[in-house]
Structure 1
Amino acid sequence: MSKVTQISSASQLDGIKSGNTIVVIDFFATWCGPCKAIAPVFATVAEKLSETGKMAFVKVDTDKNSDIARAHNISAMPTFVVFKNNQETHRIVGADMPKLKAVVEELLAASGGNIIASSSSSSTWTGAEIPRGYKVVNSEIDVKGLDCMNWKDDFGSIRKLVDTAGPVNTLAGRSGKDKGKGKESGAEPDWMESDTDEQLMLFIPFSAVVKVFQVQITSLPPAPGEDDEDDEETPRRPRTIKLFTNNAHILGFEEAESKDAVQTVELKEEDWRDGTAVINTRFVKFQAVSTLTVFIVDAEGGGECVRVDRVRIIGETGEKRDAGKLEKVGEEQ
């Protein structure tokens, strides 16, 4: 039996909102190609996470329920609207399932629940503590605009870096024997490593203006073994990091080295706790951020390869972009 409830009236929807802590609404149309493409994924997430009284997943056909669509100011499809305690908390326009998952995970984490289950994710990874009054704003990242320079593109994923689910191989690949590449464990690595040298340039655009309070970076390289302690190919954790804001595109390495950073941080051994280092921003300079560039200048111990497993942005969400007129979002598949 499907865990997704088809809504037929405003009163039915109101009852579900009142009877559940978190409600995720999929506003769709039968003629919308992206809506059809994402429907099976939405159903799978609902199957895993639906729990009576706590979390409900519903679908609203905007053609059959135009009154409900108008009441929720739906202007494009698909649109996912998330309610917590009967108050709207998030709105995702377009068939962007990674972003929707990130939103759900944030809400579950904030309420003490478990993140979305995954056979490849660590169930024990939580990253660093989130300061009171702030939240993970990775759900506001425009994943289609993510960019990175000097990463080994034959493994790892830019999108995985900002995934709020735990790293795959949190423990696997930490011995010096396999260099942390997950080869011998048989698992596909989901982190990123630098390629020709130790530098990485990560460009993070947001779909809304955000205030950045912290940048949390998780790096889980293998512990050096006795026979490879000085192996330059063994990935290391980042050491010096420069942060830039509101650039229209990714910076080149020479440009970033000569340009004044909004903030520069040198991480030390004691900054890493359970594999995660916290960069507290000079908050007054990170009040209206539309893009964030993270430049990893070098690796600890003078290593020639740097590894990054996850990047979490902690802060507040500001003004959303105007969704525009009613339309399909994304390409038909």
Structure 2
Amino acid sequence: MSKTVNITSASQFDGLLKSSKLVVVDFYADWCGPCKQIAPIFEKLSGAISRENVVTFAKVNTENQKDIAQAYNVQGLPTFIVFRDGKVADRVTGANPLKLQAIVKKLSEQVSSLQNSGGESSGGDGAVWRGAALPRGYTDITQHIEVNRTELLNVDNQTGGVRVLFESSKPSALSKSTTTKKDWVESDTDEQLMLFLPFQAMLKLHTIQLTSLPPTDDDDDEAPTRPRTIKLFINKTHNLDFDEAEDMAATQQIELSGKDWNAEGTASIPLRYVKFQNINSLVLFVVDGESDSEKTRLDRIRLIGEAGEKREMGKLEKIGDEAGE
């Protein structure tokens, strides 16, 4: 007997997202050939992995439930969306059984690990920590950063390297861990940082989430501070130098203030989405910090949006900078 839940209303769907820790949803249509081809694999996964109130598989007929499909930006069929704690965690568009199986296996293992340890989804070693909720309809695409080719300029070598920025664990500044590992980065000679992020796929970038957790000792003039002014540049084949970035018109410039940072030390930065379509790299330039400190600090970076086809590793296609550059 199938364990898959057939969704017949938006209220039923909302209730399911609240009652089950992990929900895997097949958005399909009766006329869709690829949907029919992958349906048996989806049912096999459902029968093998479903666990009451923990992992639930569901199907949404997009012809009958158009509001649900629209709410989660379902544009191609089939689309599979994985929800964790009611939030979008990942998605697969198209009949790609290997990718679907890999995503479901990874997330179900995380849920099992959390249950066995008694941990929460936002804490615990090995868990995926989120400093802020995901915008509805979009997923965390940080994994598409080509980490081996990232470059961070003006970093203090006594703090963590660039890789710590993309770790999925909770920052040590928020946990009770006694580790001496510095899992953050600070600027070195002044408050500026320059980060080059090449991608493994063409991305549509909707939001950047930055976590910064400097110490709160008001008496320490040398303590690092959070970023204030940030400039973003897209589709560069290499990192910029500081003078170049100072003079160049940014794809978007952001001014952060105290109200932008939540209790987890995270700022969610919405982007001018139309300008961040089909991008293969991002340069993030921290221009200055929110105080007079000569150091700025970053603990984590998350990229939120949609990912396209994966490209060959190590190759950046120049698809054109924004007009006027």
The counterpart of 2:135, out of the listed 114, 131, 134, is: 131
* Alignment partner of 1:88 is 2:132: no
The size of the alignment, in residue pairs, is 232
Which aligned pairs between 1:1-333 and structure 2 lie closer than 5 A?
A: 18-20=43-45, 88=96, 104=106, 119=125, 125-171=129-175, 186-224=179-217, 229-274=218-263, 275-322=265-312
Alpha-carbon contact 1:134-1:314 (below 8 Å) kept: yes
**Counterpart amino acid of residue 292 in structure 1:** L
Aligned counterpart, 2:27:
none
Unaligned runs of 5+ in 1: 1-13, 24-49, 56-81, 92-99, 173-181, 324-333
**Counterpart amino acid of residue 211 in structure 1:** K
Q: Relative to structure 2, which stretch is displaced further, 193-202 or 14-23?
A: 14-23
Give the C-alpha shift of residue 187 in structure 1: 2.1
Give the C-alpha shift of residue 86 in structure 1: 11
Q: Relative to structure 2, which stretch is displaced further, 249-258 or 149-158?
A: 149-158
* Structure-2-length-normalised TM-score: 0.61
| C-alpha spacing 1:129/1:90, structure 2 compared with 1 (3 Å) | farther
Alpha-carbon contact 1:148-1:201 (below 8 Å) kept: yes
For residue 198 of structure 2, give the secondary structure of its aligned residue in structure 1.
strand
Alpha-carbon contact 1:157-1:192 (below 8 Å) kept: yes
> What per-residue deviation string (whole Å, max 9, x for no partner) do you get for residues 29-77 of structure 1?
xxxxxxxxxxxxxxxxxxxxx997959xxxxxxxxxxxxxxxxxxxxxx
User: How far apart in 2 are the matches of 1:260 and 1:245?
Assistant: 11
Give the C-alpha shift of residue 115 in structure 1: 5.7
Alpha-carbon contact 1:240-1:266 (below 8 Å) kept: yes
Greater relative CO, 1 or 2 (CA 8 Å, sep 6+): 1
**Counterpart amino acid of residue 262 in structure 1:** T
Alpha-carbon contact 2:197-2:282 (below 8 Å) kept: yes
Give the C-alpha shift of residue 304 in structure 1: 0.9
Give the C-alpha shift of residue 83 in structure 1: 9.5
User: How far apart in 2 are the matches of 1:306 and 1:248?
Assistant: 26
User: How far apart in 1 are the matches of 2:107 and 2:300?
Assistant: 15
| C-alpha spacing 1:257/1:281, structure 2 compared with 1 (3 Å) | same
* Structure-1-length-normalised TM-score: 0.59
User: How far apart in 2 are the matches of 1:254 and 1:171?
Assistant: 38
**Counterpart amino acid of residue 147 in structure 2:** V
Alpha-carbon contact 2:121-2:128 (below 8 Å) kept: no
> What per-residue deviation string (whole Å, max 9, x for no partner) do you get for residues 152-188 of structure 1?
123212111012332233256xxxxxxxxx9xx5521
Percent of aligned positions with the same letter in both sequences?
39
User: How far apart in 2 are the matches of 1:169 and 1:153?
Assistant: 19
Give the C-alpha shift of residue 108 in structure 1: 6.3
For residue 297 of structure 1, give the secondary structure of its aligned residue in structure 2.
strand
Alpha-carbon contact 1:201-1:294 (below 8 Å) kept: yes
**Counterpart amino acid of residue 207 in structure 2:** Q
| C-alpha spacing 1:15/1:85, structure 2 compared with 1 (3 Å) | farther
